[in-house]
């Protein structure tokens, strides 16, 4: 589904991803973990062309991104397949919940307003936001905005959904609701890659975790294995497990 080969990304003379290779298969839910500054957000952003990179390749289905600035057509073909939910949601402030979900299907996919509206209502129902379809982002709680952002990403019918720290602005109660929603999407076969620092969240959802540190994947495996018995000292430190015996 997504294949990353030898990805290197620099900001000026600082290398923030160095030769990262990873494969995300169809239907998989992968959690990206690791200390702050390790390159998680950068990697996620490279997966749908939000960020350019210096060497390596990113392949999504039969489309690929090469180093440097991608061509617009190439970017769009990737972005239609790979949805992104930002940490701060980035909803259109001047549009209602319904308006936010309709926007891209009408303007990018060319759906009729009627068709896009029907579909948007189904998606708002799916994320539990039907009762708030007329609300503007400033009138919604963080959790509500996030659910609308998820509905908006799903409106493009992506094959993969990328999320950057989706639990970071949520109360513990809301985290449970998010997990329930994402479990339903997982059951429908949606491939997801999520950055998180919440171990319980990773444990509940992910089929695999990758640990990024200093621009390298230092560890990967099943959540139960990596989270309870990490091999790498840096992973142990990150998880607060102290030294290996």
- Using rule CB under 6 A, residue 36 touches ligand ADP: yes
Task: For residue 40, state whether it binds ligand ADP (rule: CB under 6 A).
Answer: yes
The token duo for 236 is: 């142990």
Question: Could you say which of 4, 22, 39, 129 contacts ligand ADP (CB under 6 A)?
Answer: 39
Our CB check for ligand ADP shows the closer of 16 and 97 to be: 16
From the list Mg ion, ligand ADP, none, pick the one residue 230 interacts with, judged by a Cβ distance below 5 to 8 Å according to partner type.
Answer: none
Q: Work out which of 6, 11, 26, 244 binds ligand ADP, going by CB under 6 A.
A: 11
Q: Is 143 in the site for ligand ADP (CB under 6 A)?
A: no
Report the C-alpha dihedral over residues 32, 38, 39, 41, rounded to 10 degrees: 60
Query: In the bound complex, what is the minimum distance in angstroms from residue 16's beta carbon to ligand ADP?
Result: 4
Residue among 41 and 235 whose Cβ is closer to Mg ion: 41
Minimum CB distance to ligand ADP smaller for 27 or for 214: 214
Count of residues that bind ligand ADP according to CB under 6 A = 10
- Residue number, 10 or 109, with CB nearest to Mg ion: 10
> Which of the listed partners (Mg ion, ligand ADP, none) does 39 bind, with a CB threshold of 5 to 8 Å by partner kind?
ligand ADP
Nearest in space to 70 (alpha carbons), one of 78, 62, 80: 78
Give all strands of the β-sheet with 63-65 in edge-to-edge order. 14-24, 2-11, 55-60, 63-65
* Among positions 37, 131, 141, 231, the unique one binding ligand ADP when judged by CB under 6 A: 37
166 binds ligand ADP (CB under 6 A): no
Task: Establish if 68 lies at the interface with ligand ADP (CB under 6 A).
Answer: no
Establish if 16 lies at the interface with ligand ADP (CB under 6 A). Answer: yes
- Binder of residue 100, out of Mg ion, ligand ADP, none (CB less than 5 to 8 A by kind): none
The residues that touch Mg ion, with contacts defined as CB under 5 A, are 40-41
Decide whether 42 or 146 has the Cβ nearer to ligand ADP.
42
Q: What is the 3-state secondary structure (H, E, C) of the chain?
A: CEEEEEEEEEECCEEEEEEEEEEECCCCEEEEECCCCCCHHHHHHHHCCCCCCCEEEEEECCEEECCCCCCHHHHHHHHHHEEEECCCCCCCCCCCHHHHHHHHHHHCCCCCHHHHHHHHHHHHHHCCCHHHCCCCHHHCCHHHHHHHHHHHHHCCCCCEEEEECCCCCCCHHHHHHHHHHHHHHHHCCCEEEEECCCHHHHHHHCCEEEEEECCEEEEEECHHHHHHCCCCHHHHHHHCCCCCC
Residues that bind ligand ADP (CB under 6 A): 11, 16, 34, 36-42
């Amino acid at each position: 589904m997504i294949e990353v080969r030898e990805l290197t990304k620099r900001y000026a003379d600082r290398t923030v991803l160095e030769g990262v290779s990873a494969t995300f298969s169809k239907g998989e839910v992968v959690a990206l973990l690791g200390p702050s500054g390790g390159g998680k957000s950068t990697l996620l952003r490279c997966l749908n062309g939000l960020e350019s990179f210096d060497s390596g390749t990113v392949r999504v289905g039969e489309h690929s991104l090469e180093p440097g600035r991608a061509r617009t057509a190439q970017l769009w073909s990737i972005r239609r397949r790979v949805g992104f939910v930002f940490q701060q949601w980035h909803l259109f402030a001047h549009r209602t919940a319904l308006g936010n979900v309709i926007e891209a299907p009408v303007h990018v996919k060319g759906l009729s307003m009627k068709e896009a509206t029907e579909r948007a209502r189904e998606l708002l129902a799916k994320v539990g936001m039907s009762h708030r379809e007329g609300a503007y982002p400033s009138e919604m709680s963080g959790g509500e905005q996030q659910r609308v952002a998820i509905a908006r990403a799903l409106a493009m019918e992506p094959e993969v959904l990328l999320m950057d720290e989706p639990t970071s602005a949520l109360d513990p109660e809301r985290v449970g609701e998010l997990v329930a929603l994402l479990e339903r999407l997982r059951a429908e076969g949606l491939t997801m890659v999520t950055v998180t620092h919440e171990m319980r969240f990773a444990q509940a959802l992910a089929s695999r975790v990758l640990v990024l540190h200093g621009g390298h994947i230092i560890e990967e495996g099943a959540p139960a294995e990596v989270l309870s018995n990490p091999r790498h000292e840096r992973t142990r430190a990150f998880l607060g497990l102290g030294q290996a015996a």
